[in-house]
Structure 1
Amino acid sequence: MAVTRAPQPVATTPAPLPVRTRLAHPALLLAGILLVALNMRACLAAVSPMVAEIQRTFGLSSTASGLITTVPVLFQGVGAPLTPRLTRRFGAERVVLGAVLVLGAGVLLRVLPSVFALYAGCVVIGVAIAVLNVSMPGLVKREFPDRAATMTGVYSTTMLVGATLAAGTSVPLEHALGGGWRASLGAWSLLALVAAVAWLPQVLRSRQEKAAVAAAAQPGKPIENLWKSPLAWQISLFMGISSLLVYTLVAWMPTILADHGMDRGQAGLVFAFSNLVQVAGAFLVPLLAGRMTSQRALAVTMAALNGLGIALLLVAPVSGAWVSAAILGVAQGGSLGLGLAFIVLRTGTAAGAAQLGGMSQAIGYLVAAAGPVGAGALHQLTGGWEATLVLMLVLVAVVGAAGLGAGRNRTL
């Protein structure tokens, strides 16, 4: 597995296609990317405030209810390795369009009056998001070769904005539409339809410029022996364990605060504040990463902030809640943005970015899916949250070590 020093990422990516039609206007491309990104977390975040109602509707146990949020994460890991093959065969533009439409179909499937449809919809949503997760870094690398890190910050921020809006508007939508949780969750299929319409010009452009795209669609050979590369594994572990920490706290942070005596309403506000702060971290950290030759210090800083926020939850869960939420928001949003930036910074071509994205996100989401379930099981075994938080601190050290390797000035 060849790993080379990268003084500045050499532009082995083919030059951007000439603007021959209005369909190739950069504003249309940017609008399409942002609308697609809005969908990539919204339908997951929208379901969280509705889990109790879904549980009552179908008479589900707590474990079965937890699967509503765990299954999509698990199938993001399962679907990620398939995406590079799809993009090579059909082209990134058509794959993204198909994934957005499938995502909208999964949202509708999830609200049908059947437990089977509920979980089948969760599977479809997870696979569709996996395809988008892996496709987008390659597209960004290809279309913005000189601003890949900056654009990574833009679309990762947009993902979190979509999640924040969805979590905050699910209950108001339920009241406004008058159709219960099904109407509220089903409404998010409209956002997928809007994104598909906005992305359609990119598919039409790729057809119009078929000859040019055919020449540009061979952006270098696939990375050989990727799964044997220490650098690829370091990036994958950084993303995977960072995601595990995020999903564990998404599932349990309000409960941890409430179990230590905080009012449940206030615990929800603290959690919402932490999610809001993530937006700033997801935007700023990739911008900083793109201006650095090595991102090792940045990776260790994100790990240290994660550790500090978790330690505050351990020693002062109520009195330090707001400070902990702010620190964790920066660390979690920043870790997401940095993990995605590593994909474009550590590869020289769009094909390489898609290939590394498939590996790192397959490992990442399979690892992340174990977080909420494992934390709940450990809490049930010990009767408290201390063991869970201590284990998370140990994992923070692993993230820091992986970040030291992933942040080196190397390319695959």
Structure 2
Amino acid sequence: MPSARRVAERAAAGAAPGLALRPADWLQLALLWLGGFSLRVTLLAVPPVIPQIHRQLGLDEKGVSILTGLPILLLAAAAVPGAALIARVGPRRALVTGLVAIAAGSALRGLGPGLQLLFAATLLMGVGVAVSQPAFPTLTREWFPRRGALATAAYANGLLVGETVPASLTGPLVLPALRDSWPLTFLFWSLPVALTAILVALLTRQATPDPALPRRWWPDFRSPRLWLLGTVMGCASAAYFGANTFLPDFVRATGRPELKDASLTAINICQLPASILVLTVARRLVGQRWPFLVAGGLIAAGSALLALTPGVWVVAAAGVIGFGAALTLVLTLALPPLLAGAGDVARFSAGVFLIMYGCSFAGPLLGGAAWDATGSAVTPFLTLAAIGVLMSGLSLSLPVLRGTS
């Protein structure tokens, strides 16, 4: 299997012939990757320990949905303030500030099993992620003006690895090593985020702002493209976070609790091929409509298969959902720098993230309420299947861009 560096080199050659990556470019790509990893690693540390939290704190399915969905809701609520912070202090400083808040919030969740502390620390962590995320499209355009798709794919790959690693390792390795203390797992996963904040602060410089560019931060909510892109992205994100939320209790309710770690690993690890696919053939996929139609179909099919054939097929179905959601994520993250002007990337991205994460919060909450109301473990995944169908329908109206790199 080719190394990540060789894949990136081939992608760079395809995106911009004759332009070789310099050592400084590799450093910036690595920092984008680490930043993406840090935005997800603490969020996805929760699903593997949901059964332990469920038992110790006595939460029902709606309570579990709120715990996992609170950071997602904050990603929506704080996206616009994040854009305002970027307009005021620049994307680099906003990113460092957000990473520090993520690390602090996750570490505070490790102080003990109290419900109030858990939700308060989760609130701080969610604000940190929300402040950090709009900085990445701006940094991508600032650091890689001619290789936007490559830089976005590197950042998105970090996001996906940040989702895969805690989901795959917390249950079988980290939790037993920490004597089955779920609060300590949150403290453990805060460490790489703190390290990333230090590296970004020490190894990058604040760019001098262009006085000719506007410093607007409020999204233009009159833009149909903003709403369309945010909703399509939100459908995929709702399916991904919803599946992560409900899988642990679903396999227990259907008599296959031993499949918890395998299914969580599948939904997250199957995201990586999607990011590598976009990294290698970015020019053929970014700005096209048909990949979104395929992704929506995969999400719908995987969710329906999971609901209707519980058992060993759960692992494969979870992987299909993960691949479809990741393909959507990587492709949509590449669009704000292409659709918005140089001074408007942060505010356009913030508007997309607000809509996206609003959908992401509502989807799992709706699924949890349906489960509580019907008592049926399959209802959340039937809800996610319907969301996948909706996403495919909306994708028919997405803009088609030519000549993307």
Give the TM-score, by structure 2 length: 0.84
Shift of 1:103: 1.1
Correspondence 1:78-93 to 2 at 5 A: 78-93=77-92
The answer to whether 1:296 aligns with 2:289 is yes
Consecutive unaligned residues of structure 1, counting only runs of 5 or more, are 1-18
Query: What is the aligned partner in structure 2 of residue 342 from structure 1?
Result: 335
Residue 111 (structure 2) pairs with residue 117 (structure 1): no
How many Å apart are 1:125 and its aligned residue?
Answer: 0.8
2:124 maps to 1:131: no
2:356 is aligned to: 364
Per-residue CA distance 1:331-366 (angstroms, 9 max, x = gap): 1111111221222332242x3221111011111112
Shift of 1:390: 4.0
Amino acid at match of 1:321: V
Task: Specify the alignment match of 1:11 in structure 2.
Answer: none
Give 1:375's aligned residue: 367
Structure 2 counterpart of 1:244, from 238, 241, 244: 238
Query: What SS does the corresponding residue of 1:25 show, helix, strand or coil?
Result: helix
Q: State the match for 1:333 in structure 2.
A: 326
TM-score (norm 1): 0.83
Q: Could you tell me how far 1:307 is from its partner in structure 2? A: 2.0
Unaligned runs of 5+ in 2: 1-21
1:400 corresponds to which of 384, 392, 397 = 392
| Residue identity opposite 1:95 in structure 2 | A
Among all aligned residue pairs of Structure 1 and Structure 2, give the percentage whose two residues are the same amino acid. Answer: 25
- Report the secondary structure of 1:274's partner residue: helix
By how many angstroms is 1:294 displaced? 4.2
> Higher mean Cα deviation, 277-286 or 53-62?
53-62
Separation of aligned partners in 2, 1:224 and 1:51: 37
Match in the other structure for 1:313: 306
Residue 155 of structure 1 pairs with residue 155 of structure 2: yes
Cα displacement (A) at 1:100 = 0.8
Mapped to 2, the partners of 1:184 and 1:385 lie a distance apart of 27
Asked whether the 8 Å contact 1:93–1:202 carries over to 2, the reply is no
Deviations 1:122-169 (A, max 9, x none): 011111111222111111122112221222111111112122212233
Query: Which SS does the other structure have where 1:227 is aligned?
Result: coil
Q: 1:48 to 1:355 in 2, by over 3 A?
A: same
Aligned residue number for residue 105 of structure 2: 106
Partners of 2:230 and 2:352 within 8 A in 1: yes
Aligned 8 A contact 1:282 1:335 in 2: no
Aligned to 1:354: 346
The answer on whether the counterparts of 1:251 and 1:372 sit within 8 Å (CA) in structure 2 is yes
Residues in 2 aligned to 1:43 and 1:198: alpha-carbon distance in whole angstroms:
18
- Contact 2:152–2:334 (Cα < 8 Å) also in 1: yes
Q: 1:80 to 1:311 in 2, by over 3 A?
A: same
The alpha-carbon deviation at position 101 of structure 1 amounts to 0.9
After superposition, the Cα gap between the structure-2 partners of 1:404 and 1:348, relative to the gap in structure 1 and judged at 3 Å, is farther
Aligned CA-pair RMSD: 2.8
2-structure distance, mates of 1:181, 1:319: 27
Rounded Cα–Cα distance in structure 1 between residues aligned with 2:290 and 2:266: 26
In structure 1, give the amino acid aligned to 2:184. A
- The amino acid that maps onto 1:110 is R
Q: 1:173 to 1:396 in 2, by over 3 A?
A: closer
Give the aligned partner of residue 169 of structure 2.
Answer: 169
Which is further off, 141-150 or 73-82?
Answer: 141-150
Counterpart-to-counterpart distance in 2, 1:54 and 1:390: 25
4+ residue segments displaced more than 6 Å: none
2:230 aligned partner, one-letter code: S
Matched, 1:214 2:209: yes
Q: Which amino acid aligns with 1:98?
A: T
Helix, strand or coil at the partner of 2:327: helix
Q: Is the 8 A contact 1:36 1:195 kept in 2?
A: yes
Q: Secondary structure at the match of 2:101?
A: helix
Inter-partner Cα distance in structure 1 for 2:230 and 2:271? 21
Matches of 1:252 and 1:234, distance apart in 2: 27
Determine the C-alpha separation between the residues in 1 that align with 2:53 and 2:247: 21
Query: In structure 1, the residue corresponding to 2:335 is in which secondary structure?
Result: helix
Larger deviation, residues 339-348 vs 299-308: 339-348
CA positional deviation for 1:91: 1.0
Amino acid at match of 2:132: L
